[in-house]
Structure 1
Amino acid sequence: MSIPTGRQILRLYRDLLRYGRQLQFTDKNYFARRIREEFKQAKNTEKVEDINFYFQRGLALLKNKRVV
C-alpha cells in the first residue's frame, strides 16, 4: 500500500472534525481536541507502516460512524 499524500491526510482531518460536529451523544469539544492531539502526535511519524495505520484508522472511524 502506498503512503497517503498530504492532501489526503488533510482531507481526513477535516472530515473527522466535520463528523465530530454531527455527534449527538458525545462531547464535541473533547472529540475535536482528541482528533487534533492524535494528528499532532502522528505528524512526526516517519515509518510508512505507522502512517498507513493511522490513516486507515481514521478512515475506519468515518466509515463505521463509530468511536471506539
Structure 2
Amino acid sequence: MRTKVLRLYKDLLRYGQNLRYTDQELFKNKIKGNFRRSKDLSDVKDIEFQLQKGFQLLKDKRVI
C-alpha cells in the first residue's frame, strides 16, 4: 500500500511538471496539500478511494 501511495505521489508531481496551461507551482502545492491532509487516514476504504482519485486524474490527463 505504501509503495502505491509513493508511486502515485511521484507520478502526480511528474505529471504537474508537464502541464502547459496550468500554474505548475499551484498544482504541486495542491498535490502536496492533499497528501498531507490524507496522511492520517487509517481506514483501508478511504485510502483506496483517495488512490483511485489520483490514478483517475493521471488516466484522464486532466487537472482538478
Which ranges in structure 2 are unaligned for 5 or more consecutive residues? none
Higher relative contact order (CA 8 A, sep 6+): 1
**How high is the TM-score relative to the length of structure 2?**
0.96
Q: Give the number of equivalent residue pairs.
A: 64
Which residue of 1 is the match for residue 15 of structure 2? 19
Unaligned 5+ segments in structure 1 are none
Q: Distance in 2 between matches of 1:61 and 1:55?
A: 10
Q: Percent identity?
A: 45
Q: C-alpha displacement at 1:13, in angstroms?
A: 0.1
- Point out 4+ residue stretches in structure 1 off by more than 4 angstroms: none
TM-score calculated relative to the size of structure 1: 0.91
Q: How does 1:20-59 map to 2 (within 5 A)?
A: 20-59=16-55
* d(CA) in 2 for partners of 1:55, 1:8: 8
Deviations 1:8-60 (A, max 9, x none): 11000000000000000000000000000000000001111110110000000
